[in-house]
Structure 1
Amino acid sequence: MESGIKRNFLFISRWGESLDIAYATLLEGNLVKMFIEDKPSKEIGFGFVTKVKDWKKHKDWADIIIFDYTGYGKICQQLRASGKIVFGGSEYTDQLELDRNFGHDELQKHKVKIIPSKEFQNFQSAITYIEKHPDSYVIKPCGEIQELKQLLFVGNDDEGKDVIRVLKAYEKSWGNNFGNFQLQRKVKGVEISVSAFFNGKEFIKPVNITFEHKKLFPKELGVSTGEMGSSMFWSKESPIFKSTLQKFESTLAKKDFRGHIDINCIVNGHGIFPLEFTSRFGFPQIFIQRAGIHEPIGNMLYKIANGENFTINVKKGFQIGVFMVVPPFPFDDKKTFELFSKDSVVIFKKEVKEGIHPMHLKNINGEWLITGNTGIALLVTGTGITMRDAQKTMYGRVSNIIVNNSYYRTDIGDRWFDESDKLMSWGLL
């Protein structure tokens, strides 16, 4: 099938995160319907794409069904078994992401080096463990609670005293509702993600190399957010890909996975240490990837879900993206959201929308208004042959936008200048 063919796309979204991709697919000339599961996020996308209340009533209409989150693996498999073309997970890839211990066991099974970690059911046993084995640690919640990104804590103290303090604080505020969590020994180095699309049989090249910026403020200050922005580039080959994801190719083929999978690692002079899987679109990763892909995104997702083998036509150089957010981001506070941010208008000084990706927005008579409840307004992207070019383009676009009370990181991409030298010297670029 060639592009130029109109197809029916059904997007099934957990929190409305895939609006940008759905909207782009519509602008490419396809028909699009979107379902959002989370109630407070229901308004997202209104006025951009057709919204539906019950996706199951539209599955026969769809030429392709796209799931944007983990946890739908079983449904994806059932739909595929019934003959539908589905972009999304499988039960296996869901488990890779959601069950950290399973993910670690699978890495070991596939002969990938991992950082030792230990799971705990309660805070006291973890505190006792650190007192017996002083070191710097990372606290990683398991299961559903890992959605609350600010609970992930990276210790800096060599004896683990800061981690003990945080565990005591969590015990006060969460009690027994925290669930299981892991303590992982902290490894120093460069944090880097490698990801690729998988068509049910093999990985589609090129692979993507991403550097995330998770802290709220520039220079890595403040609380951890899910993400404030990322920089990336596409690569035909990658030693990091070879020693991690590549080893899962035959397993993913057995599980008939058709989607996107990412593994983030800490790398240093001693090796590559995988941390965890994301077996779905990364957010904002997918939007920044789209900025670097030359073909229509809808068409590309269709080909992957349909099991076709091809090479993704990508831009040379770097792609970069920054979130523009409003209160209460990254916190959960209905009152603040309603006071400062609900229905705030996104204003463009010049009517240029290139590199502007709508996030938690609705479109009322052509005005873009903030909705949902988390306060993520836009993702703004830039591309360029050098990282500096990409940064300049992106921040130029940001300066064309007025969103009342908005804030964003001013240093996305700066990590690259220091870290590329290290990666080069370790032979990992």
Structure 2
Amino acid sequence: MRVLGIGEYNDLAATYHGLAQRGHEVKVFVADPACRDVFEGMLDFTPDWQRELGWVRDAGADGLVLFESAIHGKEQDSLRREGFAVVGGSELGDRLEADRDFGQDALRAIGLHTAASRRFSSYADARAHVQAQPGRYVLKFNGADNERSRNFVGEMDDGADMLALLSLYESRASHEPASETTDFVLMEHLQGVEVGVGAYFNGREFLEAACIDFEHKRFFPGELGELTGEMGTIVSYRHSPKLFDTVLAPLAGMLRDGGYCGYINVNLIVNEEGLWPLEFTSRFGYPGFAICEALHAEPWEAILGRMARKDSLALRTADGFACGVVLTVPPFPYRHGYEALSKGAPICLRKELAPEDLQQLHFAEVARVHGQLVTSGSCGYVGVATGVGSTVQEANAHALRIARGVVVPNLRYRTDIGERVARHDLQQLSQWGWL
């Protein structure tokens, strides 16, 4: 297979590296200059992905273009019209993720409940709304490339914490360039179990196996600290049919008409009243792709090739659960100060890690310099350690054993990934009839 990977941050570096190690030809384009050293010395890079299209076309049916993010859908649609096999998303997918109102409209159209939500382009207007209707709100910025740490889940019933934060953002916005746009939603806060359901869509149909996932977005154990992109997740391919049939299967027609081809996920709150969809992920999830891989019974080239050819809906997966634990160094989840604090730090592996254990390590912002693995990139996202087990607890223990085999100065990770899932979430979802 000949694969051209296109992204902002080289998020799929571990997948590209695996493909290359298994004998496939891979070239990677990284848009963000701060991330062009990610997997330096380990991958073949190109400064211009468009000039590599002939290289892909020359491979015929074995050529594939792989997009990482949900901001290049228009280009993906154009390449498909030119006859290229493209996996990633589409212009429709970009809008489903970036434009929260549009995404919620699509979910309402298939009969799902949606939380009360209002879009704003003014912090003053948002403050007036909260003052007029006090309550708990969730603030989420529109745009697939917005920093997740700016989002906020209100905790005070009268909305005082949200009002204070909106005032802070308003004061900061007054010092930003006039070209900077303000675009966010305030959504009604919902109580319940947060769970995602995801599957791979080949442009016509979903592959046979769908997964459920339980993300842990807060930086610290006990759900404290910043909202990061994700600090760890529990995934299973064995408990998804009812959620899939209710949430994703009805979207197949829209995705087909919109030319979508790739992984897609809907994050939900589930309570006694039913399902409340929160948002789309219209691309590979990070670190979701690595955690799903721990349960795949076949390599990525088989899955990607099948999606490109549309010749089979098979997706062979393992029983049980996978746990992913994100490994970071300061100043993650921020970029400020990375150069001084952690960039270039050596990464060592304990001798206790067996060769098969290394398959459970999916590095992210790393490079190889003079034979030494070191931290690279823009913010200190070292990678993800994964583990599998027949129970959530076993999967967590396996992932933590792998994580403890990685030695980096000031390495941080959560040890409680899955505790809430095992203690409460699975039982509650079963009681409500969703598993």
TM-score class normalised by the smaller sequence: over 0.9
User: What is the CA–CA distance in structure 1 between the aligned matches of 2:277 and 2:5, rounded to whole Å?
Assistant: 30
Displaced runs of 4 or more, over 6 A: none
Corresponding residue for residue 364 of structure 2: 359
Task: Confirm or deny: 8 A CA contact 1:205 1:236 kept in the other structure.
Answer: no
1:394 paired with 2:399, answer yes
**Range that drifts further, 282-291 or 124-133:** 124-133
Corresponding residue for 1:91?
91
Query: Does residue 422 of the first structure (1) align with residue 423 of the second (2)?
Result: no
Deviation string, structure 1 residues 33-89 (Cα, Å, up to 9, x no partner): 111111110111212211111111211222101001111111111111111111021
CA distance in 1, matches of 2:338, 2:90: 35
2:26 is the counterpart of 1:21: no
- The alignment partner of 1:282 has SS state of coil
Tell me the TM-score normalised to structure 2 length.
0.94
2:4–2:65 Cα contact (<8 Å) kept: yes
Contact 1:215 1:221 in 2 (8 A): yes
Q: Distance in 2 between matches of 1:408 and 1:71?
A: 29
Residues 202-234 of structure 1: CA deviation (Å, up to 9, x unaligned): 111210101001111000011111111111100
Number of the residue aligned with 1:378: 383
Aligned counterpart, 1:196: 199
Task: Provide Cα deviations, 1:107-148, integer angstroms capped at 9, x if missing partner.
Answer: 22232221110112211221111121122111111236x621
Partner residue, 1:126 = 126
What is the number of equivalent residue pairs in this alignment?
A: 420
Distance in 2, Cα, partners of 1:294 & 1:343: 35
Where 2:293 maps in the other structure, the secondary structure is helix
- Looking at structure 1, the residues matched to 385 and 159 of structure 2 have their Cα atoms a distance apart, in angstroms, of 38
Unaligned runs of at least 5 residues, structure 1:
1-6
**What is the alpha-carbon distance in structure 1 between the residues aligned to residue 431 and residue 404 of structure 2?**
36
Q: Which residue identity lines up with residue 375 of structure 2 in the other structure? A: I
Q: How many Å separate the matches in 1 of 2:400 and 2:134?
A: 43
* SS, match of residue 244 in structure 1: helix
Aligned equivalents of 1:426, 1:111: Cα separation in 2? 19
Aligned-pair Cα RMSD in Å: 1.4
Residue 398 of structure 1 deviates from its aligned partner by 1.2
* Maintained 8 Å contact 2:238/2:319: no
Cα deviation digits, residues 354-378 of structure 1 (max 9, x gap) = 3111101112343211111110112
Query: Hey, what does 2:59 align to over in structure 1?
Result: none
Correspondence for 2:72: 72
**1:54-65 alignment to 2 at 5 Å?**
54-62=48-56, 63-65=63-65
1:419 & 1:300 partners in 2: Cα distance? 30
Please name the residue that 1:4 is paired with. Answer: none
Provide the residue aligned with 2:234 in structure 1. 231
Matched, 1:170 2:169: yes
- Percent of pairs identical after alignment? 32
Q: For structure 2, which runs of at least 5 residues remain unmatched after alignment?
A: 57-62
The letter for the 1-side match of 2:102 is F
Report the CA distance between 1:237 and its aligned residue: 4.5
Residue 212 of structure 2 aligns to a residue in which SS?
strand
Deviation string, structure 1 residues 154-185 (Cα, Å, up to 9, x no partner): 11112211111111111122237451211111
Summarize deviations over 1:5-48 as a string: whole Å, max 9, x none.
xx111111211111011111112221111111111101112122
Whether 1:8 aligns to 2:8 is no
| Correspondence 1:180 to 2:186 | no
1:14-413 to structure 2, matched below 5 A, reads 14-62=8-56, 63-143=63-143, 147-175=146-174, 177=180, 179-235=182-238, 237-333=240-336, 336-350=337-351, 352=354, 353-413=358-418
Letter in 2 for 1:346: I
1:86–1:310 CA distance, 2 compared to 1 (3 A): same
Query: Residue in 1 aligned with 2:60?
Result: none
